[in-house]
Amino acid sequence: MKFSEEYFDEGLYRVGTRCEKWDACRQEHGESILPLWVADMDFPSPPAVQNALLRRAAHPTYGYTAVEPDDAGALCGFWRRRHGLTIAAEDVMMIPCVVTGIRLAILTLTQPGDGVIIQSPVYGPFRFSVEATGRRLCDAPLTHHADGRYEMDLDAVEAHLRSGARLMVLCSPHNPVGRVWSREELCALLALLGRYGAKLVCDEIHADFVYAPKAFTPILTLQQEGVISLCAASKTFNLAGLQQASLLCMEEEVRAKISREMERSGVRSGNIFALEATRAAYEEGDAWLDGLLSYLDGSRRLLRELVAAHLPKAVLSPMEGTYLAWLDGRAYAPTTAELMTKAHKAGVTFTGGDFFGQGGDGFLRVNIGCPRRYVEEGILRLAVALES
């Protein structure tokens, strides 16, 4: 099968499939709403994934399931091929989802009351995980430039380290601001954390969505000690409903501590369909993924043209990675609440910038993981809402 522009243009109809993006949204905002919000895509997963699921479903018993060495092996092969990371199967732990991994890492690597650094605006559950585990939230907001570009504020990170923060949770590539951190930026951050003996959890769930000339640098190719990477096939191959992710850690004692924490909190992994689908995606999904990346690259260019033409006062952050665009709408309305109310009246929804914490109000996150006709329609509807 050819994973061409036409294949991705076609997309698929998701209404009536327990789909959070479409069904939950239509219940709240009515049937004509166009949902450009939660981070999954309106494309079919690779045929190899569907075939693996159908094959397993055809065997009519679904009992307790063994995780096999080849499950981790498939992940290791994929990361070596696509990102140049060499990791052994024993360094891979299976977890139900990346957010579980963030919580486990916080619980394992810090004590109640310890400071945990995040860089807002960032994926909301970073903040929620620090708060829910009784740790001290240390926000070192990203520096925002007038052209929409963001950078790390290492002085702000250092101020928290000086006041005793023990751990940082980094989003790489960054949701929602679209940065793909360079090797130099990551090395500078690691050196700083190292000076204070702080550890790093790096959420790399968006690793596969990077557009040339930018290149993704896996954190574990730079440093193994004191570093945990979290990854999944769920964003890349649209499998989020299956609940499967991985925690990569090259330190045996840390893995043992995390295992104990998993036991203590009753976290188990081994969903039979998730394991089958994930292995198929990692082993047989490359051609589909290459087609997807080329399609999304075209979509992000289209989005830039649409915003320039129809929302000239909005600022779109340079989208180096992810399929989530970050739009500064403050020239039209000062708060996300106002932007969203207007957008809903015009029949389109996004993820409100306030979900991402400090620095997010007045912004919208636009999901372009869909056929281009939706991107076009969504921006036109938003323009009607904001320009009238």
Ligand X SMILES: Cc1ncc(COP(=O)(O)O)c(C=O)c1O
- Ranges within 34-73 binding ligand X (CB under 6 A): 39
User: Around 139, how many Cα atoms within 13 Å sit in the side-chain half-sphere?
Assistant: 16
- Ranges within 129-148 binding ligand X (CB under 6 A): none
User: Least Å distance between CB 328 and ligand X?
Assistant: 19
Query: Residue 75 or 346: which CB sits closer to ligand X?
Result: 75
Comparing CA positions, the residue from 250, 174, 181 lying closest to residue 215 is: 181
Size of the site for ligand X (CB under 6 A): 13
Q: Provide the pairing of β-strand 324-328 with 363-367.
A: antiparallel
Considering only 94-102, 136-144, 154-162, 296-304, which stretch makes contact with ligand X by CB under 6 A?
A: 94-102
Cα 136–chain centre separation: 23
Query: Residue 274 or 311: which CB sits closer to ligand X?
Result: 274
204 vs 48: CA distance, rounded Å:
23
Q: Is the sign of the CA dihedral 85, 90, 91, 95 positive or negative? A: positive
User: Is residue 105 close enough to count as binding ligand X by CB under 6 A?
Assistant: no
Q: Which of 48, 76, 92, 99 binds ligand X (CB under 6 A)?
A: 99
Q: Which of 130, 157, 232, 303 binds ligand X (CB under 6 A)?
A: 232
Angle at 9 between CA 209 and CA 350, to 5 degrees: 60
Query: Residue 99 or 180: which CB sits closer to ligand X?
Result: 99
297 vs 258: CA distance, rounded Å:
37
Percent of the chain that is helix, strand, coil (3-state, to 5): 45, 15, 40
The number of helix segments (H) and strand segments (E) in the chain equals 14, 15
User: Is residue 75 close enough to count as binding ligand X by CB under 6 A?
Assistant: no
In the shown chain, the binding pattern of residues 158 to 177 toward ligand X, with x for contact by CB under 6 A and - for none, equals -------------x---x--
User: Least Å distance between CB 59 and ligand X?
Assistant: 27
Q: Which of 234, 246, 271, 278 binds ligand X (CB under 6 A)?
A: 234
Query: Residue 126 or 332: which CB sits closer to ligand X?
Result: 126
User: Around 237, how many Cα atoms within 13 Å sit in the side-chain half-sphere?
Assistant: 29
User: Least Å distance between CB 352 and ligand X?
Assistant: 14
Considering only 78-86, 93-101, 294-302, 365-373, which stretch makes contact with ligand X by CB under 6 A?
A: 93-101
Pair 381, 348: CB distance under 8 Å: yes
Q: Which of 97, 165, 200, 254 binds ligand X (CB under 6 A)?
A: 97
Considering only 77-85, 91-99, 157-165, 356-364, which stretch makes contact with ligand X by CB under 6 A?
A: 91-99
User: Is residue 217 close enough to count as binding ligand X by CB under 6 A?
Assistant: no
In the shown chain, the binding pattern of residues 235 to 254 toward ligand X, with x for contact by CB under 6 A and - for none, equals -----x----x---------
Residue recorded with tokens 């188990």: 268
**Beta bridge mates, 136:** 115
User: Least Å distance between CB 371 and ligand X?
Assistant: 20
**Beta bridge mates, 328:** 315, 363
Q: Is the sign of the CA dihedral 280, 283, 287, 291 positive or negative? A: positive
291 vs 289: CA distance, rounded Å:
5
User: Least Å distance between CB 290 and ligand X?
Assistant: 22
User: Least Å distance between CB 321 and ligand X?
Assistant: 11
Pair 97, 230: CB distance under 8 Å: no
From residue 285, alpha-carbon distances to 45, 97, 281, 348, 363 in Å are: 9, 20, 5, 31, 34
User: Least Å distance between CB 164 and ligand X?
Assistant: 26
Residue recorded with tokens 């109809």: 13
Query: Residue 125 or 194: which CB sits closer to ligand X?
Result: 125
Query: Residue 34 or 324: which CB sits closer to ligand X?
Result: 324
Binding site for ligand X (CB under 6 A): 39, 97-99, 123, 171, 175, 203, 205, 232, 234, 240, 245
